[in-house]
Structure 1
Amino acid sequence: MNNEWVRIKYLNFYSVHVRAKTEWKFMEFISDDGLSGISEITDTQLQSSVSKIIAKLSNKLRDEKISSEENLIEMIPQEEFANTDLNYATAISGIRSAFLDLYSKRLQVSLSEYLAIKNKSLKQKKEIIRLYANINRSMLPDDNGPVDRSPDAFNRKAKEFEKKGFNTIKCAPFDECNSPFNRKDIIPEEAKIGLERISAISENLEKDTNLFVDCHSRFDLNSSYFLHDELKDRNVKWFEEPVDPEKNKEDMKKINSYSIIPTAGAEMVYGTKTFMGLIEEEIIDIVMPDVKFCGGPTEIINLDQRLEDSNKISMHCPSGPVSLLTSAQITSSINSKLPLEHAVDEVDWRHELLLPYEKINDGKFVLPNGNGVGASLNLEIINKKGKLWQE
């Protein structure tokens, strides 16, 4: 492996309009002999585009002989900024991910095979990846404006994907909430519609289907205690980010200590060290690395090797098909048995954005055959719904 190298010649960016304000964005390295490496750099949650940062950093890599990811990082001293700047975290995560797609193609192995070799603690590589259905993106405004967010609409969407084979459903029902709240002695009034949505789902799911809830950091310490008890009564199995676990560590630690429901979060954290700190300090039970922000696949492999309990990782993935494909390759190569997130029903052409098409059967992601991530961007769809550019 150590004798192989790549030389990056070109850098392309792509974007496609999805719905309302959402765009999926991607980057691509092309080597001097025509190999391609792709990654997703969707930056909906950021205040500015990361493509300019990626272009600036990638100029240091162009035409250099790069023989490993470590070699690549040495060429980007700005990597240290990623711990404190989400724009840099996204840019560097994208660069590292695209490089590994390219490099594993050079080695003529899939990304999951490459990562499995790197992961000395891996017991058995997975070929089919169990997903959970995050219905939240489908409940956000589309190109025609707001959609039905009634409790019945949440229930219908959850049942639709339960019938499609997903045995875990996740919803984000509290987007109307925003702490602090007027009263401190009861569940916030603003949360009641969210609880009605959860009840509508919980009361209609089959007994062996799990319900996860993402709170989008809409609460504070006091209201989280009341919220926890309401979720417990509704048989919720996952308590995600009532507060931001990185920005509000002490509050989240108290909530975690109180909660009998597993807590999860840290979706915008960069680097193995920070994830380990959140687990070792008992801030949250389960960390959710997002390949777009966390530093790329290697950071998750490093985390898996350091954990005594492998079921502390469940990747965050509410984005496009390149993000899910890369996350599935990573999930294949770690020991965690927890399912991978999939944002369902955002647009009906999603699967066509990759060649070969994204394949999900009965709530499971089927890894494509092929080297690297195993798929390429479908330029016909991008030309129809988006654009290509260079910087």
Structure 2
Amino acid sequence: MNNSRISALDLVHCPVTAKTTWSFIRLTRSDGVSGWGEASWVRDPGVLDVFHAAARQRLLGQPWAALDGYLEGETPALPQAAIASALEQAMWDIRGKSNGNYSAALAVAGYRRRIPLYANINRSITDRDEAGFRRAGQKAVAAGFGRIKIAPFDGLTPGKIHTPTGRKLLDDGLARVAATRAGIGADTELYVDCHWRFDRLGASSVLKELAALGVGWFECPLMETLENIPALKQLRGEANTLGMRLAGLEELTHPAGFLPWLGAGAYDVVMPDVKYARGIAGVAAVARLAASFATGCAPHNPSGPIAHAASLVACAISDSIEQLEHQFDETPAFWRLINDNFPRPVDGASLTPALPGLGAELRR
């Protein structure tokens, strides 16, 4: 039993592009061991400050064991869940460092050493025309990735989808998909993230057009409310008929929250995020649940380097996780912010680091 206390709990915001700020938690024990977690909430990073202050007030000076009790609490708001999940990641980091082992070894002796990745190139595309998508796809393929994801439907909303403006936005999105396909060639898998921009009718109508462009993954087409589960299940059937899989659930904050969707068969693949779904143990728990319902699991991870490191641990201890999202080429800061000996992707996969803890140390 560790008799240390929690001596520091810091939140560090790192603006890395005009649109993206990564937010990291540094947790320190009184024995001097520190660990990192990531809580990035790019929609409004400043909101994290409120929940960080509350966590700091509750935990600072408390026994190390108090962290377990804190992490068992409810986290109904996503930014609150992000702080809690980052603390959970940092706890794994500290425990690994204290034992001199990679954190995955704390849970599974024979953990996975190589994790398949797919490249999310969307945030790297600052020129949102067809040429920009084509170039970004080509760059990811040249870097060794065989699975590429984009979010092409800029500006579209469920309220616009059946208007002339919506049709124009939809056509623009489809042109971006076609340009990406032209850039990556016929043999590379292409995934499309919709960011909840469709209604049921609009999502159904676009499936055939996407299938004709060789899209094999249709992500988050509808708002993820319990009322939409029957519509999603029906949409999944239509997608499967066209050779596509339906994926979603990137913003749920507790493994138990996945059960209604898994029980109904709403998705082919669920996407827990290490920043929201109770950290590393939460993602692993979702993977086990998904496997029990014969559903795939591929963690959501369009984030910074600490979330990437924590997600690799979750994948390493979960045989049923099929692949991990990787934020490709958004900014050179992704690799500059962490130690040089952390494994880089090779041939569309990442080795797990042969380093203690998460294997990633943030440069400050």
Common fold by TM > 0.5: yes
Indicate the residue corresponding to 1:49 in structure 2: 47
Counterpart position of 2:96: 104
Q: Secondary structure of 2:297's partner?
A: coil
**Distance in 2 (alpha carbons) for counterparts of 1:311 and 1:160:** 31
Q: How far does residue 130 in structure 1 lie from its aligned partner after superposition? A: 1.7
Contact 2:273 2:299 survives alignment (8 Å)? yes
Measure, in 2, the Cα distance between the counterparts of 1:172 and 1:259: 18
The corresponding residue for 1:128 is 114
Of residues 22, 25, 36 in structure 2, which corresponds to 1:24?
Answer: 22
Task: Report the CA distance between 1:25 and its aligned residue.
Answer: 1.0
Report the counterpart of residue 72 of structure 1 in structure 2: 67
Aligned to 2:203: 224
**d(CA) in 2 for partners of 1:48, 1:276:** 31
Aligned pairs for 1:322-361 (under 5 A) are 322-358=306-342, 359-361=344-346
Which amino acid in the other structure matches residue 355 of structure 2?
A: G
Runs of 4+ in structure 1 over 6 Å off: none
Paired position in structure 1 for 2:296: 312
CA distance, structure 2, for counterparts of residue 161 and residue 190 of structure 1: 25
Distance 1:115 1:6, change over 3 A: farther
SS in 2 for 1:149: coil
Residues 1-391 of structure 1 mapped to structure 2, 5 A cutoff: 3-4=1-2, 6-46=4-44, 48-67=46-65, 72-75=67-70, 79-80=73-74, 82=75, 84-116=76-108, 125-139=111-125, 147-181=126-160, 183=162, 188-246=167-225, 248-260=228-240, 261-306=244-289, 307-308=291-292, 312-358=296-342, 359-379=344-364
- Tell me the CA shift for residue 213 of structure 1: 0.5
Q: Which runs of 5+ in 2 are unaligned?
A: none
The aligned amino acid for 2:198 is F
Query: Structure 1 residues 47 and 369, CA, compared in 2 at 3 Å: closer, same or farther?
Result: closer
Q: What CA distance in whole angstroms lies between the structure 2 residues aligned with 1:203 and 1:56?
A: 49
Post-superposition Cα deviations, 1:91-115, rounded to whole Å, max 9, x if no partner, equal: 2112222122112322332122123
The structural deviation recorded for 1:6 is 4.3
**CA shift at 1:58, angstroms?**
3.2
Against the structure 1 CA distance between its residues 55 and 102, is the aligned structure 2 distance closer, same or farther, given a 3 Å change threshold?
A: farther
Superposition deviation, residue 51 in structure 1: 2.8
Whole-angstrom CA distance in 1 between matches of 2:32 and 2:103? 18
State the Cα distance separating 1:333 from its structure 2 match.
1.3
Tell me, in whole angstroms, the C-alpha distance in 2 between the residues paired with 1:205 and 1:153: 13
- How far off its partner does 1:4 sit? 4.4
* Alpha-carbon contact 1:51-1:91 (below 8 Å) kept: no
Could you tell me whether the CA contact under 8 Å between 2:268 and 2:295 is conserved in 1? no
Structure 1: unaligned runs, 5 residues or longer: 118-123, 140-146, 380-391
* Structure 2: distance between partners of 1:200 and 1:76: 45
Whether the 8 Å CA contact 2:247–2:270 is kept in 1: the answer is yes
- Distance across 2 between alignment mates of 1:32 and 1:73: 17
Q: TM-score by structure 2 length?
A: 0.90
Mapped to 1, the partners of 2:279 and 2:225 lie a distance apart of: 19
- Cα shift at 1:336: 2.7
User: SS of the counterpart of 2:256?
Assistant: helix
Aligned CA distance change for structure 1 residues 282 and 309 (closer, same or farther; 3 Å): closer
Deviation at 1:125, TM superposition (A): 2.5
SS at match of 2:277: coil
When residues 88 and 370 of structure 1 are mapped into structure 2, their CA distance, relative to the original with a 3 A threshold, is same
Q: 1:266 touches 1:289 (CA, 8 Å); kept in 2? A: yes
- The verdict on how the C-alpha distance between 1:362 and 1:125 changes in structure 2, with shifts beyond 3 A counting, is same
**What is the one-letter code of the residue matched to 1:253?**
K
CA-CA distance at 1:355 after TM superposition: 1.6
Q: What SS does the aligned partner of 1:354 have?
A: coil
TM-score, structure 1 normalization:
0.84
Q: Contact 1:314 / 1:340 at 8 angstroms: preserved in 2?
A: yes
Amino acid at match of 2:232: M
What is the aligned length? 357
What is the CA distance between 1:199 and its match in structure 2? 1.3
Q: Percent identity?
A: 28
Q: 1:166 to 1:314 in 2, by over 3 A?
A: same
Structure 2 Cα separation of the partners of residues 271 and 99 of structure 1: 18
Aligned-partner residue type, residue 189 of structure 2 = N
Change (3 A) 1:182 1:327: closer
CA-CA distance at 1:10 after TM superposition: 0.9
